Structure 1
Amino acid sequence: MLYGIHCTEAVKGVVHYSLYISKMASFKITGGRKLQGELVPQGAKNEALQILCAVLLTKEPVTIHNIPNIRDVNQLIDLLGDMGVWVTKLKEGSYRFVASDVNLEYLDTPAYKSKAAALRGSVMLLGPMLARYKQGRIPRPGGDKIGRRRLDTHFLGFEKLGAKFHYDGDFYRVEGEALKGAYMLLDEASVTGTANVLMAAVMAEGTTTIYNAACEPYLQQLSKMLNRMGAKIAGVGSNLLTIEGVSELQGTEHTMLPDMIEIGSFIGLAAMTQSEITIKNCQIPELGIIPDVFKRLGIQMEFRGDDIHIPSQELYEVETFLDGGMMTVADSPWPGFTPDLLSIVLVTAIQASGTVLIHQKMFESRLFFVDKLIEMGAQIILCDPHRATVVGLGRHQQLRGIRMSSPDIRAGVSLLIAALSASGTSIIDNIEQIDRGYQHIDTRLNAIGAEITRL
């Protein structure tokens, strides 16, 4: 059953939803089919989680377009409604939010603890709550089990602004009656950490300088939206942000970028399945080096205006470095290569001609799904928790279908790509992980020739 949220009407503090959750669901995939057609990427998941939390910064209406219909985003919308935000669904992908009377008492209830703990993005509620209500609290947030994901950057930033931090075993709590601007050098260029501290700083007294700030396009989108609301943020797009605090923010209207991770996933899918796919409305300038990394794997692509066309390729060959050294693909802070696409690059390299080293620096558990790919027939050496060497099969043999389970969002889609390219039938269990980040992925791929059945 698909997971979806449909707002039928908005009532103060109560949002009437029809909520469908895929519990213990699986995909049955018949592999070996070539796909052909057009795919339109969904709105960006990682941007949505930041933008939705930012609606708490004002009592005026905020209208957001191109919101993806995925589990993590729908759960956050549901949580905002429970907190007292008026939520109105205007049309598919477009909502209006009015946070005129947030119920702070709800934050101490078991329901809030349960819902916020299930969602990694709930941590970004803290910055807006601290800025506007001088307090905020969340339980230890959930999310992908991909390794250590510390929250120190968030709370160190809040403390620099004058807030006090306390963890009582149930909640992370921050309080600050009079936030004051400060200079801070973030200990890591955390996207969510930068977003959280930025949202707290926009209403702090005086000037805040955030150095080593994340500068991903989604963070730039958040900054531009806040500026339209009346914030004064300079340095957008760089790793040095300067914020002049204001007393209040106004409402605005915002349209989210297409999801760059989904665009990269579709490029890898086309190459692995020898399919001809056109990805529409990609906002190519915002993709950074993502297309270039896939080109280094030998994947042909053509930019047609703002669309990316990937032709059907019998074979793609991995480049080497200029000195003949083996190609390495590693993640790094933007404008480097995003870690969310390393799993996709890894699976795409399976059928390439050549060898590539995948170096996942950030998360020590993200590559452990390769044992399933090896069972399917891939030639992969897991060197350590952070590095895997892929020896491309060069189409000399197909992967074979097996039964497997999705450990996280990106690994789940990587396994789906492998299954679509394999001979025979595969079963992927725990697909609610995939549903957390990819909107109706089975329906959309079936429309261009895939054979995926939701069990």
Structure 2
Amino acid sequence: MTDDYLLRIGKLIRDARQHRGLTQAQLGEALATSQSAVNRIEQGKQNISLEMIARIGEALDSEIVSLGYAGPMHLRVTGATKLSGAIDVRTSKNACVALLCASLLTTGRTTLRQVARIEEVYRILDVLGSIGVKVRWLNDGRDLELTPPATLDLAAMDVAAARRTRSVLMFLGPLMHRTEHFTIPYAGGCELGTRTVLPHLTALRQFGLEVATTSGSYHATATPGVSPTRPIVLTERGDTVTENALLAAARHDGVSVIRNASPNYMVQDLCFFLEQLGVRIEGIGTTTLTVHGLPEISCDVDYAPAEDPVEAMSLLAAAVATSSELTIRRVPVEFLEIELATLEQMGLDYDRTPEYPAANGRTRLTDLTVRPSKLTAPTDKIHPMPFPGINIDNIPFFAVIAAAAHGTTLIHDWVYDNRAIYLTELTRLGADVKLLDPHRVLVQGPTRWRASELMCPPALRPAVVILLAMLAAEGVSVLRNVYVINRGYEDLAERLNSIGARIETFRDI
């Protein structure tokens, strides 16, 4: 940018900040930067990226500042590239959003370490901030402090932010202990077909929560003193369903038994967090959880969520797709063991270090070094199962892996109505992917990838799969409107660039 533009942008930012009544230090805190950096920006003495302008616009709620950012973000990928070196897996976004919702259980302060700075987290923080929770980033923006008010202002909830994330459903469990009547908007998120909320409502009804769904919102009424008369049997072994039941049980004055519970990674992280709040839980990691709830929770809590196994799988798939040698550090191996066993059968060459504990002291980590391998298609189909089976979110990554293998692979994505359809977009990059029905695809490999320009699929994991295939494709590819990737991954393009990828971000201005 020219000095003239920098001065003009700086003046816009200063005027917007003053209009909001913020000091330079307060704006710096919201941006996870320093007061002096904000001062340099406002004086036009600091080069500033479009991404930073966008973040400032969001922090100041200023359309003037965000005019230069109005268009969606795109990625320009130059391939084929070889990845090399090492990369750390970051904390789980699915665990982080559950823990943000769980912070409503205590009247004390919650500190979360190494929080994923992604759109999904920002949307939940927007909702929490709108109802009165004080949100503060610490330690250069890596840690997060949440301080609840004495009384939540639920009438002021940021409806627009709440509609953009399905995770807002997990407000039902904790809010039923804070007020007898409340409303939350219908949940959004990825476009994965119809996903019923009935299992949530069935489980929470046994704690006295009744929900009417009208006018685009869930209208909830909580009846105090209602207790489950028998074990709660979840009608689906879903992650968020289990988490909602746990959040309701945590503040229930008594013992609750939850059967057919998900033992998946984000559920275990939530259990470890609840234990630090003083809630005793038996059976963590199994399908039967016995929760000894507390009627009041007022303690402060400091917790570090574990690393994300799905991010680890995506980095592993990147190495396979580009036929690269890559070390992936801090892999939560307990939640990837079936995936790794399947890949071993396909011929993957890799090493793993001895296990060591995550920062939460409970989750088992290892470092994986993946090497170029001649893969063959598996003899059986690839399909998800509840933990400890192949994680449903890891299924799409097997499409790009199968495209690199010799032979035909059947992938059966039976959980979601539409997601398998998005995998057929790989054909535009040279893959041989045949859709058998809305849940099943046949992938024939190996693939000679070719560059192309695509619109980003509206589902997170298929979108990342397209990006990984572009890394392997000779030439320049363009992936347009990557908001959905930013919902689930922090700085993915920059981090891939750090290990050898060539990805540029740009916008149509």
TM-score normalised according to structure 1 size: 0.90
Change (3 A) 1:23 1:241: farther
DSSP-derived class of the 1:380 partner? strand
Matched position secondary structure for 1:302: strand
* Runs of at least 5 residues in structure 2 that lack an aligned partner in the other structure: 1-28, 35-57, 355-365
Q: 1:159 aligns with which of 202, 205, 221?
A: 205
Question: Residues 286-341 of structure 1, C-alpha deviation per residue, up to 9 Å, x if partnerless?
Answer: 4342322332332221102321101233x222342xxxxxx211011111111111
Cα deviation code 1:242-278 (max 9, x no counterpart): 1223111222111111111110001111011011111
Q: Does the C-alpha gap of structure 1 residues 168 and 30 become closer, same or farther in structure 2, counting only changes over 3 Å?
A: same
Report the CA distance shift for 1:242/1:273 in structure 2 as closer, same or farther (over 3 A): same
Asked whether the 8 Å contact 2:95–2:305 carries over to 1, the reply is yes
Secondary structure in 2 aligned to 1:268? helix
**Closer, same or farther in 2 for the Cα pair 1:271/1:248, shift >3 Å?**
same
Counterpart for residue 440 of structure 1: 491
From the superposition, tell whether residues 259 and 159 of structure 1 become closer, same or farther in structure 2 (CA, over 3 Å): same
Give the counterpart of 1:108 among 155, 177, 191: 155
Report the counterpart of residue 324 of structure 1 in structure 2: none
Hey, what does 2:41 align to over in structure 1?
none
CA distance in 2, matches of 1:102, 1:417: 46
Give the AA of the match of 1:357.
L
Query: 2: CA distance between counterparts of 1:72 and 1:224?
Result: 22
Secondary structure of the structure 2 residue equivalent to 1:88: strand
Structure 2 counterparts to residues 121-140 of structure 1, below 5 A: 121-140=167-186
User: Which string of whole-angstrom CA distances, capped at 9 and with x for unpartnered residues, describes residues 43-63 of structure 1?
Assistant: 101111101100000111111
CA distance in 2, matches of 1:101, 1:30: 52
Q: How does 1:18-167 map to 2 (within 5 A)?
A: 23-91=71-139, 92-104=141-153, 107-109=154-156, 112-167=158-213
Q: Residues of 2 paired with 1:22 and 1:304: CA distance?
A: 46
Identify if the C-alpha distance between structure 1 residues 452 and 22 changes in structure 2 by more than 3 Å, giving closer, same or farther. Answer: farther
- The number of residue pairs the alignment matches comes to 433
* Residue 388 (structure 2) aligns with: 335
Alignment of 1:5-20 (within 5 A): 6=31, 17=59
Shift of 1:23: 4.8
Partner in structure 2 of residue 420 of structure 1: 471
How many angstroms apart in 2 are the aligned matches of 1:161 and 1:374?
Answer: 49
Q: 1:330 touches 1:360 (CA, 8 Å); kept in 2?
A: yes
Partner residue in 2 for 1:316: 375
* TM-fit CA distance, 1:192: 0.5
Please tell me the residue identity of whatever aligns with 2:456: S
Q: Could you tell me how far apart the structure 2 residues matched to 1:136 and 1:300 are? A: 53
Letter in 2 for 1:159: R
Asked whether 1:178 is paired with 2:248, we answer no
* Superposition RMSD in Å: 2.1
Q: Which residue number corresponds to residue 304 of structure 1?
A: 353
Distance 1:232 1:137, change over 3 A: farther
Q: What is the alpha-carbon distance in structure 2 between the residues aligned to residue 239 and residue 23 of structure 1?
A: 45
- 1:370/1:319 Cα in 2 relative to 1: closer, same or farther (>3 Å)? closer
Instruction: Read off the aligned partner of 2:313 and give its amino acid letter.
Output: G
Q: Do the aligned residues in 2 keep the contact of 1:298 with 1:318 (CA within 8 Å)?
A: no
* Identity in percent: 28
Larger radius of gyration: 2
Greater shift, 281-290 or 85-94, is seen at 281-290
For residue 179 of structure 1, report the CA deviation from its aligned partner: 4.3
Is the 8 Å Cα contact of residues 329 and 359 (structure 1) preserved in structure 2?
A: yes
Q: Displacement, 1:178?
A: 1.0
2:382 match: secondary structure: strand
The residue identity in structure 2 corresponding to 1:158 is L
1:323 alignment partner in structure 2: none
Match among 214, 231, 242 for residue 279 of structure 2: 231
Change (3 A) 1:379 1:170: closer
**What 5-or-longer segments of structure 1 have no aligned partner?**
10-15, 321-326
CA contact (8 A) 1:364 1:386 kept: yes
Q: Measured at CA, do residues 180 and 241 of structure 1 come closer, stay the same or move farther in structure 2, by a change above 3 Å?
A: farther
Partners of 2:300 and 2:102 in 1: CA distance: 11
Matched, 1:281 2:330: yes
Q: What does 1:368-447 align with in structure 2 at a 5 Å threshold?
A: 368-393=421-446, 398-407=448-457, 408-447=459-498
Q: Distance in 2 between matches of 1:424 and 1:442?
A: 17
TM-score in terms of structure 2 length: 0.81
Deviation at 1:102, TM superposition (A): 4.2
Distance 1:352 1:318 in 2: 6
**1:75-114 Cα shifts (integer Å, max 9, x gaps):** 212221121112221123211111133433xx334x6221
- AA of the residue aligned to 1:276: E
In the alignment, the residues of structure 2 paired with residue 383 and residue 179 of structure 1 have an alpha-carbon distance, to the nearest angstrom, of 51
Counterpart contact for 1:181–1:245, Cα < 8 Å: no
Distance (Å, rounded) in 1 between the aligned partners of 2:70 and 2:82: 27
The structural deviation recorded for 1:366 is 0.4
Deviation at 1:160, TM superposition (A): 1.4
Q: Structure 1 residues 433 and 384, CA, compared in 2 at 3 Å: closer, same or farther?
A: same
Residue of structure 1 equivalent to 2:259: 211
Measure how far apart 1:7 and its partner are.
5.4
Q: Aligned partners of 1:108, 1:353: CA distance in 2, in Å?
A: 57
Q: Conserved in 2, the CA contact under 8 Å of 1:276 and 1:312?
A: yes
Give the secondary structure class of the aligned counterpart of 1:210.
strand
Shift of 1:356: 1.3
In the alignment, is residue 454 of structure 1 matched against residue 502 of structure 2? no
Equivalent position SS for 1:194: helix
